[in-house]
Chain A
Amino acid sequence: MNRDPAEILTAYADGELSEAERVRVEAALEADPALRGELAAIRAAQDALRTLPQAPPVLSPEARQRLLAGVERAWTRPPRRRLRRLLPYAVAAGVLLAIGGGILTTSTVHYLAPEGEPACEVPPVRIASVEPPPRRNQAAGAASIALPLQDMRSEQLEMLQALDLPADEAAREGDSRIAKGREEAISETESANAFLAIGAGGRARQSADEKKERRAGDKQTTVDELTRSIVNAVKPAPARPAIQEPRLPAIPAQTPTVLASRLANIAPAPILARDPVQRLLNLAENYELPVELPQRRLPLATALPIAPGLSAGEQVVMLANRAGAQVVLDHGRLAMRAPAALDPTDRLGMDAAAFAAAWGSPPMTVVAQDPGLTFALDADTASFDSARAELDAGRLPDPASLRPEHFVNAVPADYPRPTAGEAFALFAEAGPSPFARGPLAARQALVAVGVVGRDAAAGERRPLHLVVALDTSGSMAAPGTMDIARIALDGLFSRLDARDRVAVTAFGERARVVQPAIGGDRQDRLMQALRQSAQPDGATNLAEGIALAIQVAREMADPDAALRVVLVTDGAAIAGPEEAEARVRASALRASGGSLLLLGVGSPPADTRALDSLVAAGDGQRLHLGGAAEARAVVDGALLPGRLDVLARDAKAQVQWNPERVTHARLVGYERRRLDHGAFRDDRVDAGELAAATTATALFEVVLAEGGSGPLGTASVRYVDTRRGAVRELAHALPGSLLAAQASPRLRTLACAAELAEQLRGSWWANVRPIPFAAIAAACDGLPAPADTLARMARQADGLRPLLEVRP
């Protein structure tokens, strides 16, 4: 350091030196008496200065009074908000609608009750039922929005309702007309898939303000005028200039709970835009909130009308959630920002068991302590199929019934089938995750490990012995439900031949045999039996239905044939003691070497866990057929007779990670199918059943060691080969070279499927890495099937997301 020694001494006396400097100065002082004298002189001077007269601590009362009087005089009416900033846009002023002689603009309305209390003043204000604020007209019309015509109409209609507020009698009279016009306008805009440009509103503001000024006092903007203006709206919107994005620095976050309770007290305000981001911006502007959005635009398709009865605060949070933003409070100001991704290896100080109990899924394992992950394989896609059906029906699937492994399995594996002799082949691929976020993003990778089963050639398959158990209870009478069942079974029967045998049972209040076992070539008789039995009636006696089917199946058991009970049900009545009883019955099937095939038809029950455990007890698989199209697809896929043969029982997988290469790992989903490591070679342990031609994929999320090398680990699969009656174990190394620099399209599709499931069920992993549904939909772009379905589901979910989720 090149400073004057005396300067350093001053700084030393002032206690402003760094530790190292201080030590050096003290050593010098020790050595040099002259320096000590110098220091003493400096200190004496400093001490003397301490006695200098003090400044007055406050202004004298007269001065303060004078000042405040001056302040009062200095106040002038503020210019219109944003005017300055928007001047350049004023020329491009937006669409103005002629009404009679006057001009009306589409307009956001600032009605913040006591004239826009700032956001920080939240607590005492509760204005839900307060009369309109005194200076409303002045407040109203502070901004207007220029939107393309089709958007504007609904905008305007939404505005109508808000503009002449509850207090306005005229508006109340016109409510029904507004509502009618509104419906029309909204239906018109439904087809519009244009994007609403955020901030487009600003441009028209200046002129809008002028008009508003002229109209000040003319509060009775009648419904008639407004309705007419909608009819007259004909002008197209001008081209939009580039938009300036408001930007904010990162702000320390507060918990959503704190936030929500604060926000609950903000008065409701009408937010007039169909686009959620636009609404968010409008709302934020009303409350003087700084806004930062991770994505500036959302497609119109994601817009939903705001739920009535919500406080403005809840609306903010809801809209922010929709936009994939996080709402934070800082010094009493609200801010939106993209939620931060967390460290995925963080266990919050909990051990694995406590963590799994708290969050519903185990934490990432630390490979150095526990290198292995063992689990029962699962080839089903039922949870994916029923989630799709739910979303298509406009409902969010129950988070508890979502199984990411089923979503992963929905992505077909185009890997070579195993060669002669072997029932399964192992495959694996790895690459970077498209959704890696947070501090470890650069080290995160996805590893997909799976098995692909042999597809039995037509002549090669074993004979099939089927027992159909058809649910004929009252709930199956829902329109189309029985037809779906019929399409699927008809398709299945049509491909059977004389070697196969089929029996048909049905159960409503009582179980009955409709058609004793006959040859598979008697399709006519079988279909007739179905028609006879399929008269929906009464309650569901599922336990008895299963018991009867299994009794019939036992009689048909043949070591050279594949035995399956096909349970066709809508699953509506599987609950409570009924479920437990049914499960016990189903487990009897295992003893006879058979397995269950559960065909879920129609709209799935909200909670599919009962169905899943029933299927697990019956060593089976579950397919969900939401409609006729899916039924037909399944006939050409999973219901092909060759594929109904169970190739493997008790299929288990184990992955051992190499701690040199992988530091942390987690298996996506499979929460209910984890096994102890010892169970892998214990062949008494019940595990997954895999039918012919099925694939089961397990997706792992791993954190790679820095500078690590060598293989990623090894993957093993162990199962009972049903045709040989022998236990097989396949093992393969996962070489380091597996790790591609770029994830393959299939791996990316797998990532999208898994991410969609995690975000839909709001798991811990969705907390760690909050990916907006819109981002998942965008990531699906250009990927192989079923990426288009995944994107559609993500977009549907985006519109259905719960309003405000406060997680523990």
Chain B
Amino acid sequence: MARNVDPSVDAVPFPVCDVDLLRRWRRHAESGAFAELVDRHQADLLRVAHAITGDAGQAEDAVQESFLSLCREADAVLAAAGERRSLGGWLCAVVRNRCIDDLRRRHPQPLPDQIAQPQPAAADAGSLWEAVAALPPLERAAVVLRYRDQLDYRAVAERLGKSVSHVGVILHQAMQRLREHPRLRSEAAS
């Protein structure tokens, strides 16, 4: 009957989903809830942003911007959440689009080659990045997420908003292009 319950089962962890966190922030200005959202998603968003821009600073900017977009559009996001629990996809799409827009705006500016400087181990990574940076943004992001971050096709597809088979095609094209690059050709020869 009503009170005949086992208290021990209360020990089961009780995860809070993204949507609930956002709702808490939205309704009660609970900044802790939003901070939790940031902590949950920042690594992944930074990875995606960095894969597209190749620049840690730009990546940080894009990620901050995307979280601020989430603030501004919280009501719409919550209204559209439906049965969705995670906001990772939404944030990722915002970061991705923002980074790609940034690149287009800067075009034909060459990509700043500044990753190499703070990292002494990557003496020749600069030229490797040059090869990668020459790829179209989507291919570049796919290659970096797949081979640097070792994400599988499905994970790459989720982050880029593409289908898994499309990711296969993108990666193949990217690899064809990359192998033309002298830096990689010499690598293969050795």
Contact = CB atoms under 8 A, between A and B. Distances in A.
Contacts of B169: 7
A787 B64 CA distance: 67
B60 A10 contact: no
A92 interface: no
B179 A249 contact: no
Among B4, B12, B29, B172, max chain A CB count under 10 A is at B172
A58 B46 contact: yes
A804 B5 CA distance: 10
8 contacts: A7-B168, A45-B178, A59-B60, A70-B64, A72-B31, A260-B5, A264-B5, A290-B83
A67 B38 contact: yes
B56 interface: yes
A360 B68 CA distance: 60
B10 A49 contact: no
B179 A121 contact: no
Nearest to A67: B64
Among A15, A66, A68, max chain B CB count under 10 A is at A68
B103 interface: no
A802 interface: yes
A31 interface: no
Interface string A62-95: 0110111011101100110000110000000000
Contacts of A115: 27-28
A66 B187 CA distance: 42
Nearest to A251: B83
Given A120-B14, A290-B83, A53 B122 contact: yes
Interface stretch (A36-44, A157-165, A189-197, A498-506): A36-44
A552 B44 CA distance: 93
Contacts of B83: 248-249, 290
A331 B146 CA distance: 30
A806 B4 contact: yes
B60 A63 contact: yes
Contacts of A332: 14-17, 20
B108 interface: no
B64 A49 contact: no
A54 B2 CA distance: 55
Contact of B38 (A4, A64, A288): A64
Among A7, A49, A66, max chain B CB count under 10 A is at A49
Given A16-B153, A52-B147, A59-B60, A120 B20 contact: yes
A459 B51 CA distance: 102
A129 interface: no
Contacts of B132: 49, 52
A59 B146 CA distance: 22
A508 to B, nearest CB: 37
A120 B63 CA distance: 27
Contact of A6 (B2, B115, B144, B172): B172
B64 A42 contact: no
Interface residues of A, number: 71
A257 B152 CA distance: 39
A46 B129 CA distance: 13
B144 A63 contact: no
A258 to B, nearest CB: 5
Interface string B24-63: 1111110100110011001100110111000010011001
A183 interface: no
Contacts of A725: none
B75 to A, nearest CB: 7
A473 B25 CA distance: 70
Nearest to A4: B172
B148 A54 contact: yes
Given A59-B60, A115-B28, A261-B6, 14 more contacts: A7-B169, A11-B168, A42-B179, A46-B175, A70-B71, A72-B31, A78-B27, A249-B83, A261-B5, A261-B7, A264-B3, A332-B14, A332-B15, A806-B5
A24 to B, nearest CB: 16
B113 to A, nearest CB: 11
Among A85, A260, A290, max chain B CB count under 10 A is at A260
Interface string B156-184: 00000000000011011001101100011
Contacts of A264: 3, 5
Interface of B: 1-7, 9-10, 12, 14-17, 20, 23-29, 31, 34-35, 38-39, 42-43, 46-47, 49-51, 56, 59-60, 63-64, 67-68, 71-72, 75, 79, 83, 85, 115-116, 119, 122, 125, 128-129, 132, 143-144, 146-150, 152-153, 168-169, 171-172, 175-176, 178-179, 183-184, 187-188
Contact of B50 (A6, A56, A260): A56
B129 A257 contact: no
List the 3 closest A-B pairs by CB distance, nearest first. A55-B50, A49-B147, A74-B71
Nearest to A64: B38
A249 B1 CA distance: 29
Contacts of B146: 14
Nearest to A121: B16
Contact of A49 (B34, B39, B148): B148
B91 to A, nearest CB: 13
A333 interface: yes
Contacts of A51: 122, 125, 128
Nearest to A66: B64
Among B17, B26, B168, max chain A CB count under 10 A is at B168
Nearest to A114: B28
A60 B85 CA distance: 27
Contact of A55 (B34, B47, B122, B176): B47
A257 B12 CA distance: 12
A122 interface: yes
Contacts of A11: 153, 168, 171-172
B128 A48 contact: yes
A314 interface: yes
Nearest to B13: A332
Contact of B168 (A16, A71, A78, A249): A16
Contact of B46 (A14, A50, A55, A68): A55
A41 B42 contact: no
B5 A71 contact: no
A310 B2 contact: yes
Given A63-B60, A257-B5, A68 B178 contact: no
A331 B79 contact: no
A262 interface: yes
A241 B111 CA distance: 59
A397 to B, nearest CB: 16
B31 A49 contact: no
Interface string A108-120: 0000000110111
B59 A67 contact: no
A59 B95 CA distance: 14
B21 to A, nearest CB: 9
Contact of B2 (A63, A67, A258, A804): A804
A49 B130 CA distance: 12
A118 B23 contact: yes
Contacts of A343: none
A574 B43 CA distance: 74
A57 interface: yes
Contacts of B168: 3, 7, 10-11, 16
Contacts of A15: 152
B125 A52 contact: yes
A248 B83 CA distance: 7
Contacts of A3: 168
A57 B143 CA distance: 19
A38 to B, nearest CB: 10
Nearest to B83: A249
B59 to A, nearest CB: 6
A44 B187 contact: yes
Contacts of A416: none
